[in-house]
């Protein structure tokens, strides 16, 4: 499970109660329930960091759903390694990039929902029962109407912009420490620019440029100094040694980072 439900209310417990009631043998792993509220982009990143380590065949219930109750689709998707149950709002964008979808359905078969479905709590009333039925062996095809995987919503700016000599990056997630994860993956960058030098520059809202040292680890800069580095999940990150890069450098979801490749 991955949600933005938080830890103060009983929302997570209600979802788990439905799962356990319908599938008593299921094992539930909490990836996180601390996704920033309604932040689909951050949820997409966090989901993608966990899925490579899950046992093959895991059923993932992911709910960051600001459009709950609207015309947005509720979907189930079977990838090469896992199955996903989520709103079709881009939350699966990064996970499905690494685990390509093999089939997908809209969750419109009421047989596999709770008898009453709240307009504002599909996690409990729709996603959880569908996941439990899948865990009990119900094929994904029975959960609803088949849809083309190519029609699944993908988040905008989920990939960096590659220009001649410059890679323009946008934030994906700000973690607990204030480190900011940008949407440039190490494997993609090194495939295109292996062996070339590069400089990292943060572009402020007033177009002010802040060069950042690109290092391997925090200890290579002074305490309180900013840095750029490849994070443990393979993305380019910006941090402040001993502090919060988001707060110190004023980075938010609209910030821009440029990686300037030396010729």
> For residue 255, which of 224, 223, 212, 214 has the smallest C-alpha distance?
212
Question: Which CATH number do you get for residue 57?
Answer: 3.40.50.10790
Residue 48 to residue 35: CA distance in whole angstroms: 13
Question: Which range, of 101-110, 221-230, 251-260, averages the lowest pLDDT?
Answer: 251-260
In a domain, residue 70? The reply is yes
In a domain, residue 44? The reply is yes
User: pTM for this one?
Assistant: 0.94
* pLDDT band with cut points at 50, 70 and 90 for residue 125: very high
Please check whether residue 184 is in contact with residue 259, taking contact to mean a CB–CB distance below 8 angstroms. Answer: yes
Mean per-residue pLDDT, 178-193: 91
What are the C-alpha distances in Å from 116 to residues 13, 65, 110, 113, 121?
A: 18, 19, 10, 8, 11
- Both 185 and 217 in a single domain? yes
What percent of the chain has pLDDT above 70? 98
Buried b (16+ CB within 10 A) or exposed e, 160-169: bebeeeebbb
Residue 201 to residue 212: CA distance in whole angstroms: 6
pLDDT at position 193: 74
In a domain, residue 165? The reply is yes
- Both 176 and 145 in a single domain? no
Q: Dihedrals φ, ψ of 44, to 5°?
A: -60, -40
- Both 131 and 170 in a single domain? no
**Better-predicted residue by pLDDT, 59 or 165:** 59
* pLDDT band with cut points at 50, 70 and 90 for residue 259: very high
What pLDDT, in 10s, does the model give residues 69-109? Answer: 999 999 999 999 999 999 999 999 999 999 999 999 999 99
Mean pLDDT rounded to a whole number for the chain: 95
- Both 94 and 170 in a single domain? no
- Both 141 and 165 in a single domain? no
- Both 186 and 146 in a single domain? no
Question: Which CATH number do you get for residue 199?
Answer: 2.40.30.90
- Both 45 and 72 in a single domain? yes
Angle at 41 between CA 40 and CA 44, to 5 degrees: 85
- Both 107 and 146 in a single domain? yes
In a domain, residue 108? The reply is yes
Boundary of a domain, candidates 83, 118, 151: 151
- Both 165 and 138 in a single domain? no
- Both 25 and 140 in a single domain? yes
- Both 210 and 90 in a single domain? no
Question: Which range, of 140-144, 202-206, 249-253, averages the lowest pLDDT?
Answer: 202-206
What pLDDT, in 10s, does the model give residues 18-64? Answer: 999 999 999 999 999 999 999 999 999 999 999 999 999 999 999 99
> For residue 123, which of 136, 109, 113, 111 has the smallest C-alpha distance?
113
Range of the domain at 219: 161-261
* pLDDT band with cut points at 50, 70 and 90 for residue 261: confident
Domain count, the chain: 2
Boundary of a domain, candidates 151, 171, 197: 151
DSSP category for residue 149: G
Mean per-residue pLDDT, 194-205: 81
Q: What's the token pair of residue 239?
A: 């941090």
Res 195 pLDDT > 70: no
- Both 144 and 181 in a single domain? no
Res 234 pLDDT > 80: yes
Res 196 pLDDT > 70: no
In a domain, residue 211? The reply is yes
pLDDT at position 207: 77
Mean per-residue pLDDT, 145-165: 94
pLDDT at position 228: 96
Boundary of a domain, candidates 151, 173, 200: 151
Question: Which range, of 35-49, 139-153, 183-197, 224-238, averages the lowest pLDDT?
Answer: 183-197
Buried b (16+ CB within 10 A) or exposed e, 189-201: beeebeeeebebe
Residue 33 to residue 2: CA distance in whole angstroms: 6
In a domain, residue 156? The reply is no
DSSP category for residue 256: E
pLDDT at position 192: 79
3-state secondary structure of 50: helix
């Amino acid at each position: 499970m991955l949600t933005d439900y938080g830890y103060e209310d009983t929302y997570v417990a209600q979802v788990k109660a439905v799962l356990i009631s319908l599938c008593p043998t299921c094992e539930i792993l909490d990836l996180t329930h601390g996704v920033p509220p309604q932040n689909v982009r951050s949820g997409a990143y966090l989901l993608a960091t966990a899925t490579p380590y899950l046992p093959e065949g895991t059923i993932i219930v992911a709910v960051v759903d600001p459009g709950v109750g609207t015309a947005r689709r509720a979907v189930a998707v079977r990838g090469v390694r896992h199955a996903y149950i989520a709103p079709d709002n881009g939350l699966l964008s990064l996970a499905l990039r690494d685990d390509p979808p093999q089939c997908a359905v809209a969750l419109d078969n009421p047989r596999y929902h709770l008898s009453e479905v709240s307009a504002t709590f599909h996690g409990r009333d729709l996603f959880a029962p569908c996941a439990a039925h899948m865990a009990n062996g119900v094929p994904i095809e029975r959960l609803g109407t088949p849809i083309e995987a190519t029609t699944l919503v993908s988040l905008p700016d989920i990939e960096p912009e590659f220009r001649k000599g410059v890679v323009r990056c946008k934030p994906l997630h700000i973690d607990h420490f204030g480190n900011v994860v940008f949407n440039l993956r190490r494997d993609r960058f090194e495939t295109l620019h292996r062996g070339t030098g590069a400089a990292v520059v943060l572009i402020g809202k007033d177009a002010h440029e802040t060069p950042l040292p690109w290092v391997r680890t925090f200890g290579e800069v002074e305490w309180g100094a900013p840095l750029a580095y490849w994070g443990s999940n393979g993305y380019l990150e910006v941090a402040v040694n001993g502090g919060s890069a988001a707060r110190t450098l004023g980075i938010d979801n609209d910030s821009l980072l440029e990686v300037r490749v030396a010729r």
